[in-house]
């Protein structure tokens, strides 16, 4: 595995570049990621390029022995691009323009900006073409960051209408699929369709789901356009993009299909603070991050990547600037996070950033160097990780368990939570965490992925079920856990005629005849477990597995399949998953809450998120 | 009392209609409500009507022996209506258009839409005219749902100016009445008046009160236009409309004056979840609804209805889709709710809806049938309720106590809470609940209603007091409880020259010389009671009734009248009301918190909201 | 010290004026503040003035022996002013116009409104010119109230561009100073700069800081224009303006530089309720106000005033209307607040308002008279305070301790809290409170103020440090406490090359190499103290002063200077300050939490905020 760093030479005097490159190499870094925010320096005036400085950067880094990951600068078009076509900015859900002054101020559907993005991509690609220093291209930066996938602009509306016409063929089919008769929402032509924002009350969930799919497709085609140019102009380089944490704005399976390597940006402390962890977890893991945050994304994005090739394109090296609170990692955590990535099979961990920039939006974001160029604590940890890696020879992944996740599932629970906060993503995270607490290797896989080699498969919450999944599960000889709402919808957000779990009914051995969502405090209590949040009434041949003191059945069992009738969280899903692991012949006793394992090849990595220690054992 | 159901034949194949009708009759239902969202099927293209399907629906239902309640489809104008006049949509308080894509996307003040609404109403009314299947007409659907009464559009502004000119005559009178000199807000003509939204800080409360009255009047006149057409084109049918729960956007007394029967839509579990109940109540009554939710509205709307004729046009039959959390009712609750409505004198309880529709916004809303046409639990309960009703012969209402409520009172506490969350509606609910906990029949009456026949009258919070009320209270020989802020304002939101309680001063035996609002945690504590939220300093001849340990007087007594100087909630108002009940010779010991009584004729209905049991005794 | 009252004769019949004036004098009042909202009465039609009534008011008040403070009416332009130039209103951060219907509906950058404001100011000033009744002029009213300093209008944008050109000279210098290279935010001309609102994610903090400075400067120049006219047309009168509580929208040092006397409006109960006090404090001091609220502002504004001349232009006399909850003061509090102002050196305390107005926005705001003209409780307290003052002869201020505060510091912590809720203003308040709990006199001073005469100086949080401050601190022979983030930024929000505390490093004896912000619940615990919220890693010669059980150093000591590495709040900063007070030879044992002292001349005033008693001792 390579180590690298994100570097912004345009922030620093040219006289410093060689020293930076030398110090990177001395630290054990072999990759350097540059260029993704530099449009205003590359093309300071429309059509007037200034390549000199970047040529010298590339040569300097290359000369030092660093392989360069070059970004296309399309996430930050300069002001003159915006001024030339002010309607290129996205409109937010309230119809307000999202203007210049930070980044990502473009609408994915704006043809004019697409042309500009293609032009600057081609210019950069042609310039560095076959330069031996360039090992990879990165498209844009963090698609969707700051909630930028959805735009409610006229450009988006027009593109959405075309997309709908393509998908549905006739407006009558659209009306039928969406059930538009419901509130006289029937359209007479695709040109009558509006975007689903600013309706009086909620828009049709089918309308939202189509808009989410469309918005995702716009990202994918925007990216594809760059990929095509890069492959044409600079063949032979890997193409990558950096995904984010707990982010589902577009379908990463679709995006990754056009990439060679899927990257992601790992900020365990920031994510702990900003996402759905309990107050107690936020305090307990404030300096280490919850033990499953990084691992979950490693496994998720490995599952999304075309050939399983993935990397960490940004790794938190110290406090960040953007969370509600920004503590420092424990000494040892940066090294631990690096080895956790290795244990999951990363090709690269690249620290963000080389040197803390004393100005602008991220001035409080730590780097490997402080603003004054002295070493920050992470520099020595990167060096230590490089030493660790030198003695590690790789090793094949080991399959034990899998969690099935789809982006559309998350869109659907967001569109229709039915009970406040219900989320397929977080259901997946809790199931993942339950498995990992048992010390298991976990893959997170596409619904149509082959299931061979696993002993246990969990489908936490998958409203739309494909025939492929059904066939794979039927053929599967391990244990299966299926969670609520699985098989509850058709492709257009309709309830299937045979009700949930629809095509899974034979496997589950039952039909869901009624679903309730429950407020916090309502629960089914059993011996050492408590199930809450949701309750499916199931009728069929399945046998009750867990029955509460109130007599309600919280989980059902039918051959190899368990059905979780309550929301897959907490002690309840931990128990269901542990029982399935036992039946699968897998380890089934939970580790301490701050310890996690990961086996790669013949090594077992033991990560202690309390002491920041890593132990490497024979597997 | 009839039982009925809300039915959307346009959702289902024509081949199913006769079977549905047969099953309705078999279930004991005699009424069916249809048509209110079907505009796009009735008039799929501008001016091109498709009556065939609806004719066949009407004939099929009629043939099965069902009486039809036909809705005018004006709550859901099709897209082509909107596209023909895009400015027909309301603007929200932030000035954003409330567009097509759900329902109620019209501004009550838009003349063009008023013309369209009249046109389609006349078309439907003329079509079914004297069809023997039609027993009632329903205008539109749930006026005000999704906060749609107030519109901040240019159409609303222009109509508001005309309304003001009509009401005030001269702008000088308006300036004087509102006290516009205060911040140089004086207008030189009615054309200078703007809507009260988007001001820098709060607008004049008199301005808001006028706008609330205007907005209510626009609903009333919009409805009246349909009523006039229906009476002209289809004479001899009852005309009704369906009001909502805990909703005060327009004055229901005014609306009901034009209707024969006032309906309302009863969703006890949804309302429990979405309105101001405590966390503890929301858990305790999650599967039954707080025991006073349905009863409060039965009594409120009976008091609003022109001749006391009212019905439940929608009754929750299972989980709904629109609350924060959506649990299922206890087995037995649907029957209990039905009998509670009977005990309060409803003419009809109509379940919403016949069959769960698997698509669009309300796909998770239960029906009497599941989406697959199999029976949902409520079907058997409806059948059981029909059996219960067969042996019940009606009976006169029995008067014991009354709560006085006006919509303007609620508007005024919303406009000027003075202490966070103070609400005349919720003051009324708490007083109502205090009375009902004593096992009493309670009427909720208009401020000018006659008070004969009651032993106890409570005026929870009535800023504007009429001469009629004063005369009625003076002549009244029962006990009276008057709450804070009563008599505190004139018609234009001004403090009267003699201060609160103004015209009630002789009855109360005191004058309020100072009012305080208190944050939670500040309270007057007495023996077994705790008063909070508000504190009026009273001077006059009245005698202290409840005095706290701090020496403050929480309630005063003057002959038959008690004055509650604190906010009418909790153990404090329970005690004041119980003491007044004692003096009135009424039952005064509280029932268990989950049990309620209602006497109709010579029967006493005992409702247990914990076990979902109903017991019918001799009164 | 004079006592006065705010009076709105335009609310009352002319026949009442003389009686009001007589009663004011009988109450012991000698000043009366009028006119600031009366534009619509002074100029009811464009260019048609009605001076008669105001002439008679002025003559009547003067004849009664009252000195008049006359306000310019520019805070409430009449509707016709707005209708003549609708773009004169401010736009809020979301781009919505802030329209007519309340007050302060103008953009400070609108040239047309500036001309109108100058015109009406000149008209009033020329009218009353040398009238002997006029003792002072007040400009406008509460600049910034309702968040009105910042406007995001085209007028503001254009003015901002000019301001930037003036400040930075070249756009290249601006780009360099702000670090605009960061996200390709570089401008090619000042005309490319937009306002910092409505960006996709946060704008550059340097951009915001410039906009905050610009917005403040616009207030100052708007005010200056009126001051110039008043000095020209009505020379020899004091000019004042009324500032607010816990308000930092503009730099009060800059504004006060153009005034003779800086006034402020003191509402201890409203401020307690609306600002950052704990629930427990809000309950405990609900009827008295937290003991440091009024005092903090007295000392803050005395420090801002040009020659130390300041006054209370509005003093709460009973419940207000605008807080979340509005309780009444304890009997005695109005007198206590009056004497607290005296003890801090006020020239005037003016009660707001004379008589409660029964209409419009503030109808629930108490006065000295009730709406019916009978005395409210505060009237007698004002009379008692007048008697107290008769026997008090003034006396020089006594210097003990100082807190350094700058408005830019607060802007910077608002722009970049880095940890949720971090605020330089509240850091100052907590340090102030810690000092005052020790019974000390505290001054709040400008960073460049001389420090002679103090024994202890606290710099709670001052990102930008001037050379003057460094020189003053070096020359200072008392004890110094410096808080986190001091010296952490340059003038354009950049981190200085030598890191924090930059120029203070020699004094502090250390450099901050890393800063963390911590969520509530993370803390350093020591013996009787708990430090939280922030943690600076310090390296240097300073010695640990307070070390937690975890081994982290919460405060450092280096000669006379202590450095607080954690957020200056709670038991931690109380202890650091008390230890510094001990070393400074000052009293260092805390008073009871409801008692405060203030020494003026040879008197020590002891204020008991629990019993509302004031005791005057020999100092
Ligand atoms: Zn075991
Ligand atoms: Zn009794
Ligand atoms: Zn001591």
- Judge whether residue C397 has pLDDT over 90: no
Tokens of B30: 């005699």
> What is the average pLDDT value for chain C, to the nearest integer?
98
Q: Would you say A385 and A439 are in contact if contact means Cβ atoms under 8 Å apart?
A: no
Q: Which residue of A has its CA nearest to C184?
A: A40
Q: Would you say B500 and B511 are in contact if contact means Cβ atoms under 8 Å apart?
A: yes
Among C181, C495, C522, the residue with its CB nearest the CB of A40 is C181
Reduce the DSSP state of residue A513 to 3 states and report it.
strand
Per residue in A257-295, pLDDT tens?
Answer: 999 999 999 999 999 999 999 999 999 999 999 999 999
Q: Looking at chain B, which subunits does it touch, using at least 3 CB pairs closer than 8 Å as the criterion? A: A, C
**Rounded Cα distance, B387 and B391, in Å:** 7
Q: What band does B394 get if pLDDT is binned at 50, 70 and 90?
A: confident
Residue whose pair of structure tokens reads 């180590």 in the numeric block? A3
- Which residues have C-beta within 8 Å of that of residue C126, sequence separation ≥ 6? C233, C234
Over residues B498-508, mean pLDDT: 98
In terms of C-beta density within 10 A (0-12 exposed, 13-18 middle, 19 or more buried), how is residue B467 classed? exposed
Tell me, which fold does domain B2-148+217-390 have in CATH?
Answer: TIM Barrel (3.20.20)
- For chain B, the residue count is 619
3-state secondary structure A516-549: EECCCCCEEECCCCEEECEEEEEECCCEEEEECC
- Judge whether residue C292 has pLDDT over 90: yes
Buried b (16+ CB within 10 A) or exposed e, C439-451: bbbbbbbbbebeb
Cβ count within 10 A of residue B1: 21
Q: Would you say A500 and B364 are in contact if contact means Cβ atoms under 8 Å apart?
A: no
Q: What kind and span of H or E run contains B443?
A: strand B442-445
Q: What is the pLDDT of residue C394?
A: 85
Measure the CA dihedral A510/A513/A519/A523, to 10°: -40
**Rounded Cα distance, A522 and A520, in Å:** 6
Interface of A with B in 162-191 (CB under 8 A): 178-188
- For chain A, the residue count is 619
Q: What kind and span of H or E run contains B71?
A: strand B67-71
- Judge whether residue B584 has pLDDT over 90: yes
Determine the distance from the C-alpha atom of residue C470 to the mean position of all C-alpha atoms in its chain, rounded to a whole number: 25
- Which residues have C-beta within 8 Å of that of residue C303, sequence separation ≥ 6? C405, C443, C444, C445, C446, C449
Q: Give the CA radius of gyration of chain C.
A: 25
3-state secondary structure B212-273: HHHHHHHHHHHHHHHHHHHHHHCCCCEEEEEECCCCCCCCHHHHHCCCCEEEEEECHHHHHH
Q: What is the pLDDT of residue C381?
A: 98
Q: What is the pLDDT of residue B600?
A: 97
Q: Which of A36, A43, A273, A314 is catalytic?
A: A314
Instruction: Look at residues A201, A95, A190, A112 and name the one whose alpha carbon lies nearest to residue A150.
Output: A95
Residue A107 labelled as part of a binding site: yes
Beta partners for B137?
A: B70, B239
Q: What band does B619 get if pLDDT is binned at 50, 70 and 90?
A: confident
Give residue B427 CA to ligand 2 midpoint distance, Å.
25
Per residue in B179-216, pLDDT tens?
Answer: 999 999 999 999 999 999 999 999 999 999 999 999 99
Give residue A578 CA to ligand 1 midpoint distance, Å.
9
**Rounded Cα distance, B261 and B73, in Å:** 19
Q: Looking at chain A, which subunits does it touch, using at least 3 CB pairs closer than 8 Å as the criterion? A: B, C
Over residues B433-452, mean pLDDT: 98
Q: What kind and span of H or E run contains B202?
A: none
CB contact under 8 A, C73 and B521: no
Chain B to chain C, count of Cβ pairs less than 8 Å apart? 170
Main-chain dihedrals φ then ψ at residue A537, nearest 5 degrees:
-85, 120
Q: Would you say A496 and B359 are in contact if contact means Cβ atoms under 8 Å apart?
A: no
Residue whose pair of structure tokens reads 């960006």 in the numeric block? C199
Q: What band does B397 get if pLDDT is binned at 50, 70 and 90?
A: confident
Give residue A438 CA to ligand 1 midpoint distance, Å.
10
> What is the average pLDDT value for chain A, to the nearest integer?
98
Instruction: Look at residues C405, C451, C410 and name the one whose alpha carbon lies nearest to residue C431.
Output: C405
Distances (CA, A) of A566 to A461, A515, B285: 11, 10, 20
User: Where in the sequence numbering do the catalytic residues of B fall?
Assistant: 142, 314
Q: From the options 3.40.50.300, 3.30.470.20, 3.40.50.880, 3.90.550.10, give the CATH code of A401-599.
A: 3.40.50.880
- Judge whether residue B393 has pLDDT over 90: no
Residue C141 labelled as part of a binding site: yes
CB contact under 8 A, A185 and B80: no
3-state secondary structure C284-320: HCCCCCCCCHHHHHHHHHHHHCCCCCEEEEEECCCCC
The angle that helices A333-343 and A377-390 make with each other, rounded to 10 degrees, is: 30
Residue whose pair of structure tokens reads 């119980």 in the numeric block? B578
Per residue in A469-503, pLDDT tens?
Answer: 999 999 999 999 999 999 999 999 999 999 999 99
Among A182, A200, A513, the residue with its CB nearest the CB of B360 is A182
CB contact under 8 A, B363 and A498: no
Q: What is the pLDDT of residue C588?
A: 95
Give residue B395 CA to ligand 2 midpoint distance, Å.
29
**Rounded Cα distance, C58 and C41, in Å:** 15
> How many percent of chain C have pLDDT more than 90?
99
- Judge whether residue C88 has pLDDT over 90: yes
Q: Would you say C310 and C263 are in contact if contact means Cβ atoms under 8 Å apart?
A: yes
Determine the distance from the C-alpha atom of residue B110 to the mean position of all C-alpha atoms in its chain, rounded to a whole number: 25
Q: What is the pLDDT of residue A155?
A: 98
Measure the CA dihedral C272/C276/C282/C284, to 10°: -100
Q: Indicate if C314 belongs to the active site.
A: yes
Q: Indicate if C381 belongs to the active site.
A: no
Residue A335 labelled as part of a binding site: no
**Rounded Cα distance, A448 and A429, in Å:** 19
Give residue C337 CA to ligand 3 midpoint distance, Å.
29
Choose, out of B176, B184, B463, B551, the residue to mutate when testing the contact with C (most C CBs < 10 Å). Answer: B184
Residue whose pair of structure tokens reads 């020359």 in the numeric block? C475
> How many percent of chain A have pLDDT more than 70?
100
Q: What is the pLDDT of residue A396?
A: 87
Residue whose pair of structure tokens reads 């003053």 in the numeric block? C472
**Rounded Cα distance, A318 and A614, in Å:** 19
| Residue A202 with chain B: CB contacts under 8 Å | 102, 361
Q: From the options 3.20.20.80, 1.10.565.10, 3.30.1390.20, 3.90.1530.30, give the CATH code of C2-149+219-390.
A: 3.20.20.80
Residue whose pair of structure tokens reads 């033990």 in the numeric block? A291
CB contact under 8 A, B283 and A206: no
Q: Which residue of C has its CA nearest to A364?
A: C418
- Judge whether residue B396 has pLDDT over 90: no
Distances (CA, A) of C163 to B604, C169, C217, C376, C390: 79, 10, 9, 49, 50
Alpha carbon of C418: minimum distance to chain A alpha carbons (Å): 6
Cβ count within 10 A of residue A529: 20
- Judge whether residue C396 has pLDDT over 90: no
Interface of B with A in 230-289 (CB under 8 A): 273, 279, 282-283, 286
Q: What band does B21 get if pLDDT is binned at 50, 70 and 90?
A: very high
**Rounded Cα distance, C230 and C74, in Å:** 14
Q: What is the pLDDT of residue A523?
A: 98
- Judge whether residue A397 has pLDDT over 90: no
CB contact under 8 A, B372 and A499: yes
**Rounded Cα distance, A265 and A145, in Å:** 11
Q: Which of C142, C381, C505, C569 is catalytic?
A: C142
Among C183, C207, C499, the residue with its CB nearest the CB of A370 is C499
- Judge whether residue A393 has pLDDT over 90: no
What secondary structure does DSSP assign to B22-57, as a single string? HHHHHHT--EEEE-TT-HHHHSSBTTB---HHHHHH
Per residue in A559-568, pLDDT tens?
Answer: 999 999 999 9
Helix ranges, C370-519 (H):
377-390, 407-415, 424-437, 467-475, 505-508
**Rounded Cα distance, B463 and B481, in Å:** 15
Helix ranges, A327-466 (H):
333-343, 377-390, 407-415, 424-437
Per residue in C226-249, pLDDT tens?
Answer: 999 999 999 999 999 999 999 999
**Rounded Cα distance, B64 and B46, in Å:** 33
- Judge whether residue A325 has pLDDT over 90: yes
Distances (CA, A) of C87 to C84, C324, C615: 9, 32, 55
Tokens of B485: 């802020």
Give the domain ranges of chain A. Answer: 154-207, 260-393, 401-599
Cβ count within 10 A of residue B45: 11
Per residue in C585-609, pLDDT tens?
Answer: 999 999 999 999 999 999 999 999 9
Q: Would you say C76 and C103 are in contact if contact means Cβ atoms under 8 Å apart?
A: yes
**Rounded Cα distance, A50 and C186, in Å:** 15
- Name the E strands within C487-609: 511-517, 523-525, 530-532, 534-539, 543-547, 553-558, 561-564, 595-600, 603-608
Interface of B with A in 131-160 (CB under 8 A): 145-146, 148
Over residues A578-583, mean pLDDT: 98
């Amino acid at each position: 595995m390579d180590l690298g760093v994100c570097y912004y030479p345009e922030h620093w005097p040219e006289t410093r570049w060689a020293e930076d490159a030398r110090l990177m190499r001395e630290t054990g870094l072999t990759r350097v990621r540059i260029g993704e925010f530099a449009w205003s320096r590359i093309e300071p005036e429309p059509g007037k390029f200034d390549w000199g400085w970047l040529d010298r950067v590339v040569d300097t880094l290359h000369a030092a022995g660093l392989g360069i990951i070059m970004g296309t600068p399309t996430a930050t078009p300069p002001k003159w691009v915006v001024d030339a076509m002010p309607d290129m900015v996205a409109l937010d859900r309230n119809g307000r323009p999202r203007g210049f002054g930070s980044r990502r101020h473009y609408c994915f559907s704006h043809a004019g900006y697409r042309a500009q993005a293609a032009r600057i991509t081609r210019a950069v690609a042609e310039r560095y073409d076959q330069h031996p220093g360039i090992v990879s291209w990165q498209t844009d930066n963090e698609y969707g960051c700051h909630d930028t996938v959805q735009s409610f602009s006229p450009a988006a509306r027009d593109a959405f209408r075309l997309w709908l016409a393509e998908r549905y063929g006739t407006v009558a089919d659209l009306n039928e699929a969406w059930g538009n008769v419901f509130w006289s929402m029937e359209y007479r032509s695709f040109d009558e369709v509006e975007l689903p924002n600013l309706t009086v009350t909620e828009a049709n969930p089918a309308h939202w789901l189509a808009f989410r799919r469309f918005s995702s497709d716009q990202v994918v085609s925007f990216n594809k356009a760059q990929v095509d140019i890069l492959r044409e102009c600079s063949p032979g380089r890997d193409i990558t993009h950096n995904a984010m944490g707990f982010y589902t704005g577009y379908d990463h399976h679709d995006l990754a299909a056009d990439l060679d390597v899927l990257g992601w940006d790992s900020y365990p402390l920031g994510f702990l603070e900003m996402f759905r962890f309990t107050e107690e977890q936020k305090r307990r893991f404030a300096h280490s991050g919850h033990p499953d945050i990084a691992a979950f994304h490693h496994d998720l994005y490995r599952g999304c990547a075309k050939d399983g090739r993935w990397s960490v394109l940004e790794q938190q090296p110290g406090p960040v600037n953007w969370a509600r609170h920004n503590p420092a990692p424990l000494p040892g955590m940066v090294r631990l996070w690096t080895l956790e990535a290795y244990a999951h099979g990363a090709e690269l961990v690249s620290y963000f950033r080389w040197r803390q920039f004393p100005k602008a939006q991220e001035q409080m974001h730590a780097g490997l160097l402080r603003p004054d160029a002295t070493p920050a604590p992470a520099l020595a940890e990167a060096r230590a990780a490089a030493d660790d890696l030198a003695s590690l020879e790789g090793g094949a992944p080991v399959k034990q368990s899998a969690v099935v996740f789809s982006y559309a599932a998350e869109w659907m629970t967001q569109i229709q939570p039915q009970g406040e906060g219900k989320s397929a993503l977080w259901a997946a995270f809790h199931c993942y965490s339950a498995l990992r607490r048992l010390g298991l290797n976990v893959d997170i896989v596409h619904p149509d992925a082959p299931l061979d080699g696993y002993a246990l498969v969990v489908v936490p919450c998958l409203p739309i079920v494909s025939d492929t999944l059904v066939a794979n599960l039927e053929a599967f000889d391990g244990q299966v856990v299926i969670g609520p709402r699985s098989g509850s919808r058709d492709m257009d957000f309709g309830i299937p005629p045979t009700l949930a779990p629809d095509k899974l009914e034979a496997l589950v051995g039952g039909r869901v005849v009624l679903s309730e969502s429950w407020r916090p405090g309502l629960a089914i209590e059993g011996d050492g477990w408590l199930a809450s949040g949701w309750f499916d009434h199931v009728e069929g041949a399945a046998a009750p597995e867990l029955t509460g003191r109130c007599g309600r059945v919280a989980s059902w069992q039918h051959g190899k399949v368990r059905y979780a009738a309550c929301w897959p969280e907490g002690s309840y899903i931990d128990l269901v998953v542990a029982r399935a692991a036992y039946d699968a012949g897998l380890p089934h006793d939970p580790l301490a809450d701050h310890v996690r394992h990961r086996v790669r090849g013949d090594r077992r990595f033991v990560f202690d998120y309390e002491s920041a220690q890593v132990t490497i054992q024979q597997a």
